[in-house]
Amino acid sequence: MAYEISVFLENKITHFEKVTAVLKNASVNIRSLTLTSMTHGWGILNLLVDQPEKAYKLLTDKGHAVSMQELIAMEMKDEAGGLDEILVMIARAGIHIENAYTRLIAENNMAILLLEVPDILEAKRRLEINHVSILEDTIVYGK
C-alpha cells in the first residue's frame, strides 16, 4: 500500500520551501503533490514521496504538523476516458472518495489514480470482490 504525507502549514513565503528543503537534504523524492489553501491563511500540503516513513519522521522532528495515511492506488489508462473508466468501477464497488489525485510514471507510460477513502479496509475488500487491482507501493513510488 502507498502512503501520503500531509503537512499543515501556514500560507506564507518560505513555509512550503522549508518542507521541501528537509526532504531534499534527506534524499526523499517527491513523486506527486497537492497544495490546498484553506481559510485564514493556512493550507494542507499532501505529498506522495518515495520514503513516507522517513519523511514523516523528519518533518515531525522539525516541528511540522504532519500526518501519514494509507492510500489506494490503481492503474488507469493514460488516454481520454481512462479516469472515467476506473471511476465507474469504483462507483460500482460502492466506494466513497474523499480526495483523489493522479501520478504519471513516464518511463513506462503508466497513469495511477490515488484515493483517500473513509474506510481503507472496506474499500480494499470491495475492490477485490469487483476484481479491481490495487498497486504495490514500489510501483506507486517509482522505485
pTM above 0.75, yes or no: yes
In the chain the domains, ranked by start, together with CATH numbers, are: 2-69 (3.30.2130.10), 71-141 (3.30.70.260)
Q: What is the pLDDT of residue 74?
A: 95
**Which residue positions in the chain have pLDDT lower than 70?**
143
Give the tens place of pLDDT for each residue, 42-62.
889 999 999 999 999 999 999
pLDDT at 76: 93
User: Beta strands of the chain (E only): which ranges?
Assistant: 2-10, 30-37, 42-49, 65-76, 99-105, 110-116
Cα R_g (the chain), whole angstroms: 16
pLDDT of residue 86: 95
Strands of 110-116's sheet, edge to edge?
30-37, 42-49, 2-10, 65-76, 110-116, 99-105
Q: Coil, strand or helix: which one is 128?
A: helix
pLDDT at 112: 94
